[in-house]
Amino acid sequence: MKTLEMVHEYDPRPLPCDKDSLKESIRDALIHIVGKDPLTATPRDWLHAVSFAVRERIIERRMYTKRLFDQEQVKRVYYLSMEYLIGRMLVNSLMNLGFYEACCEALEEMGVSLHEIIDMESDAALGNGGLGRLAACILDSMASQCLPGYGYGIRYEFGMFHQGIENGEQVEHPDNWLRYGNPWEFPRPEKIFPVHFYGYVVEHRERGQPRYHWEDGEEVIAMAYDYPTPGFGNKNANNLRLWAAKATRDFDLDYFNEGDYIRAVREKIESETISMVLYPNDATAIGRELRLKQEYFFVSASIQDILHRHAELGYPIESLPDKVAIQLNDTHPAIAIAELMRLLVDSHQLPWQKAWELTRGVFSYTNHTLMPEALETWPVTLMERVLPRHMQIIYDINFHFLNEVRHNFPGDNDIVRRLSIIDENHGRQVRMAHLAVVGSHMVNGVAALHTELLKKHLFNDFYRLWPDRFVNITNGITPRLWLNQANPALADLITRHIGNNWTMDLEQLRRLEPLVDNRDFRREFQQVKRRNKERLAELVKRQMDITISPDALFDIQIKRIHEYKRQLLNVLHVITFYNRIREGRAEEQVSRVTLFAGKAAPSYTRAKQIIRLINDVADVVNHDPMNPKQQVVFLPNYDVSTAAVIIPAADLSEQISTAGTEASGTGNMKLALNGAMTIGTLDGANIEIREAVGEENIFIFGMNAEEVERLKREGYRPRDFYESNDELRRALDMIRDGFFSPQEPGRYRDLVNNLLTEDQYMVLADYADYVRAHEAVDALYRDPEAWMRKAMLNTARMGYFSIDRTVMQYAQEVWGISPEGWV
Ligand code: 26V
């Protein structure tokens, strides 16, 4: 590790971070940047002033970090992702920089409460769910571990929609997160790259060689916005660069000579729509032209930027894989493979084989889902129209690739058809996952089971061809946000007993294990959970005017609403529990609050129905005077900030997807780390969580992935389960016959009929064992001491799931980079 060195007379003398210096910076920012009188400034003015004072200190670090990386000629890794679910930045920055306390005091002396202004900041919600949050955790880890890692993405004008609930139903509102300006970003009007669409390709010969020119069509300008990201407890800051689309006319001096002025303005607006809105994970998004343009837009700008930096640092193009690694976060940026080939072959005029060797040396690809409907394909006709040169290059890549396949599997035409990048069976489609595998030197799944299933099913042919290309790198979460920030009371308790090294070395938590036998520690642990439950109860009261009791067991399912995640299974248990109470068969059962939160894709009708059902059931259950033991809550607008309040308050974590469907899950890790017990299937990372915490400290139920496969193969008949289980039949009949929707008795008829006839995710098959597992939960919860011991062991044994372990694995096994940074 190096120490900071000033070489230029104008170099920033690192700004002091004590209370008085912060006070001065905040005051200056309020007056000179925000432009407000301290006497009349609003809470948002103060928020912006503090943010400016903090970012001054971050950008200095960024400057020195960049200098160091340049000087040491390090290899950099670029993370290409359509999504970053960052959340709020002020507290995160203050904590990573280590002056949260100082800032709190500085503001207090100025008559402002940090706590009151924190909530004014809008979440940066530039992602859908797990994949986007993983990208944000990875950025935090790279900066904290001094790895030269850069994020590239899109600066969406509108992020993930805001979810409202009206009459029990989801309504979507636009997320205008930039409305009040964004103090965290540095616009870089000089960092611009042209991005080309449409047009056609002209072939000509140059010294006997064919050369290709992509001509005509449209051009959009990608302009950079930089978000410097500070590491935790060090002096490093990396960079997240988000691209916004700007009309070329803005950079065109002839603009004012335009004849058709109105048309010119319309074209400007059209080109700027490219970065307007984040697509929800929605079946209707698939195959949309604007989405393809978004993908190519940010990929093209990023690759140009990367090559530009490489050249500026004086490196020859042949050394690209020695200086650059590019990680593809799912297939969304996979067109980067064709784009790099295009630039190497057409602009740098490298021979195809050389260009291909460099390209494969640079790229690696992470798969995040096995769900067939989520796998990206693009109609060849669309690709030909929008990106004609890329389509040619994809054909060429495929030509060379299929020759290799034929060589390895002589005479096997079937495997050629299955492996081809072009799917000929569904009206000629480009399979982006195939392009990603062929163009990468490493492909990884995100949990052990997921990687095994990739090798066995989705990528089986590829695995037979190139077994060494496949690795598993199990996901992780950042302890800085998900324990230190979200759960200050627990963080403090832990630090008092084992010191604070756990924030950067989560395996340290193992040292808590002996403390499970310490009665005082157990009591303190329990008090922390209690306080966190009170904090959540206050939020529920404030937002929904529902009073929930912190004495009850908090049973939590928070994630995107999707059939495979089986919120319906949870609802069936809620109804079963309700029926037992009504029949006086529930003396043994503990009081429960079942809390759901999550968004449904706007066009995913069934998922929206599930939200409505949860709210209908909540309405009945919560208003039944004969039911003091049970409450159901659907908390609207789940996002990073609400997750940080819910997770520390959870007793029970619902991870109940059909085995073989959830690639990993990361909410499962956040909840267990915060001392919630998991009720879950043997799916995704749940399997590894069970290994880590011990099978006696987790409630596993239902079929495993093999059993699911077998039942599907042998013919699944959900009605058999319905007919042979009285409680299940009763619950389903109540939903179907309008018990929870008396105003509209037929509301859920189709939903239930679908469960009885198809039940794609085998809810009914797992129901009985799920109810049994919940009985075991109840039995344990009745013994608070025993429960607390197990909950504590969950916290103590979750060290493996630190994102720092994940990122170090990528660094060593995939990227070939090592730490380099300031102390
Ligand atoms: C996308 C779509 C789009 C079309 C409709 C259905 C559908 C279903 C799922 C998805 C998810 C796409 C990728 C994704 O977000 N995967 C998540 O990645 C997390 C980080 O690796 C992982 O923990 C989650 O298990 C995985 O679902």
* Tens-place pLDDT, residues 105-115: 999 999 999 99
What's the whole-number mean pLDDT along residues 505-519? Answer: 97
Q: From the CA of 130, give the closest atom in ligand 1.
A: 19
Pocket test for ligand 1, best of 131, 329, 565, 668 (most atoms within 8 A of CB): 131
- Of 126, 282, 368, the residue with max ligand 1 atoms within 8 A of its CB, to mutate for a pocket test, comes to 368
Say if residue 5's pLDDT is above 90. no
Please give the tally of structural domains in the chain.
2
Query: Is the predicted pLDDT of residue 255 greater than 60, yes or no?
Result: no
Q: Which residues contact 645 (CB under 8 A, 6 or more apart)?
A: 486, 535, 536, 539
The two three-digit tokens of residue 495, written as one number: 């630090």
Structural domain including 470 reads 73-88+123-474+808-815
Q: Is residue 701 part of a domain?
A: yes
What amino acid occupies position 299? V
288 CA distance to ligand 1 centroid (A)?
Answer: 18
Q: Is residue 108 part of a domain?
A: no
Q: 505 and 522: one domain?
A: yes
Residue 385: partners with Cβ closer than 8 Å, 6 or more residues away: 198
CA distance 667 to 689: 12
Q: What is the CA(85)–ligand 1 centre distance, in A?
A: 14
Q: Say if residue 492 is in the same domain as residue 466.
A: no
Whether residues 357 and 464 share a domain: the answer is yes
Q: Are residues 393 and 281 in the same domain?
A: yes
Active site residues: 368, 559-560, 565, 666, 670
pLDDT above 90 as % of the chain = 92
Interior/surface letters 759-796, b for 16+ CB within 10 angstroms, e for the rest: bebbbbbbbbebbebbeebeebbeeeeebbbbbbbbbb
Residue pair 579/676 in contact (Cβ under 8 Å)? The answer is no
Whether pLDDT at 270 is above 90:
no
Distance from Cα 178 to the centre of ligand 1, integer Å: 26
How open is the CA angle 355-359-362, to the nearest 5 degrees?
Answer: 145
Mark whether 493 and 632 lie in a shared domain. yes
Beta-bridge partners for 260: none
Neighbours of 810 (CB within 10 A): 25
Average pLDDT over residues 585-589: 86
Report CA(667)–ligand 1 centroid distance (Å). 13
Question: pLDDT at residue 126 above 90?
Answer: yes
In a domain, 624, yes or no: yes
From the list 254, 90, 57, 1, the residue with the least C-alpha distance to 822 is 1
Residues 234 and 313 both lie in one domain: yes
Q: Which residue from 816, 802, 819 is spatially nearest to 138, judged by alpha carbons?
A: 802
Residue 550 forms part of a structural domain: yes
The atom number, within ligand 1, closest to the CA of 133 reads 20
Is 44 inside a domain boundary?
A: no
Neighbouring residues of 232: CB distance < 8 A, sequence distance ≥ 6: 95, 96, 140, 143, 144, 480, 503, 504
On the question of pLDDT at 258 being above 70, the answer is: no
Domain identity same for 549 and 580: yes
Ligand 1 centre from 333 Cα, in Å? Answer: 15
Closest CA to 78 of 291, 276, 336, 343: 336
Q: CA 587, CA 568: separation in Å to the nearest integer?
A: 25
Helix (H) or strand (E) holding 504: none
Q: Are 183 and 51 in contact (CB under 8 A)?
A: yes
Q: What is the pLDDT of residue 524?
A: 98
| One domain for residues 333 and 198 | yes
Q: Hunting for tokens 């193009």 — which residue is that?
A: 317
| Closest CA to ligand 1's atom 6 | 374
Q: How far is the CA of 743 from the centre of ligand 1 (A)?
A: 35
Whole-angstrom distance, CA of residue 358 vs CA of residue 595: 50
Residues 436 and 561 in one domain: no
The pLDDT tens digits for 148-193 are 999 999 999 999 999 999 999 999 999 999 999 999 999 999 999 9
Q: Flag whether pLDDT at 256 surpasses 70.
A: no
In a domain, 703, yes or no: yes
CA–centroid distance, 497 to ligand 1, in Å, is 38
Output the pLDDT for position 3.
74
684 within ligand 1 shell (Cβ under 6 A): yes
Average pLDDT, integer, range 449-456: 98
Extract the runs of DSSP E, i.e. beta strands, from 8-140.
76-80, 84-87, 124-126
Q: How far apart are CA 55 and CA 90, in angstroms?
A: 9
Nearest CA to ligand 1 atom 9: 374
pLDDT at 538 over 70: yes
Residue 545: Cβ within 10 Å count? 7
- Residue 32, in any domain of the structure: no
Query: 337 and 242, same structural domain?
Result: yes
- Please state whether beta strands 218-230 and 237-247 pair in parallel, antiparallel, or not at all (unpaired): antiparallel
CA-nearest residue for atom 10, ligand 1, is 374
The residue whose C-alpha atom lies closest to atom 8 belonging to ligand 1 is 374
Contact between residue 701 and residue 763 where contact means Cβ atoms under 8 Å apart: no
pLDDT in tens, 325-371: 999 999 999 999 999 999 999 999 999 999 999 999 999 999 999 99
* Nearest-CA residue for atom 20 of ligand 1: 131
- The pLDDT tens digits for 728-785 are 999 999 999 999 999 999 999 999 999 999 999 999 999 999 999 999 999 999 999 9
- Could you give the percent of the chain with pLDDT greater than 70? 98
* 665 CB near ligand 1 (under 6 Å): yes
Examine residue 216 and state whether it is found in any structural domain, yes or no. yes
Residues 658 and 678: their CA atoms lie apart, in Å, by: 15
C-alpha dihedral, 84 to 88 to 94 to 97, nearest 10°: 0
Task: Tell me, yes or no, whether 470 and 483 share the same domain.
Answer: no
- In three-state secondary structure terms, 186 is strand
- Extract the tokens encoding 823: 């102390």
CA torsion through residues 159, 165, 170, 172, sign: negative
Q: Which of 674, 742, 681, 676 is nearest to 706 (CA)?
A: 681
Q: Nearest 5 degrees, angle CA 513-CA 483-CA 673?
A: 45
Q: What is the mean pLDDT of the chain?
A: 96
β-pairing, 630-634 vs 592-597, is parallel
Q: Is the CB of 559 under 6 A from ligand 1?
A: no
Q: Which two tokens stand for residue 21?
A: 């210096």
State the DSSP string of 564-608: GGTHHHHHHHHHHHHHHHHTT--TTPPPEEEEEE----TT-HHHH
- Residue 457 DSSP code: I
pTM: 0.98
pLDDT at residue number 801: 99
- Does 390 share its domain with 432? yes
pLDDT band at 820; cut points 50, 70, 90: confident
Whether residue 373 has its Cβ less than 6 Å from ligand 1: yes
702, pLDDT greater than 70: yes
- Which pair of structure tokens corresponds to residue 766? 């797992």
CATH number for the domain harbouring residue 703: 3.40.50.2000
Write the single-letter amino acid at 127.
G
**Which ligand 1 atom sits closest to the C-alpha of 446?**
21
Q: Can you list the alpha helix ranges (DSSP code H) found in 409-483?
A: 413-419, 432-438, 448-453, 460-465, 479
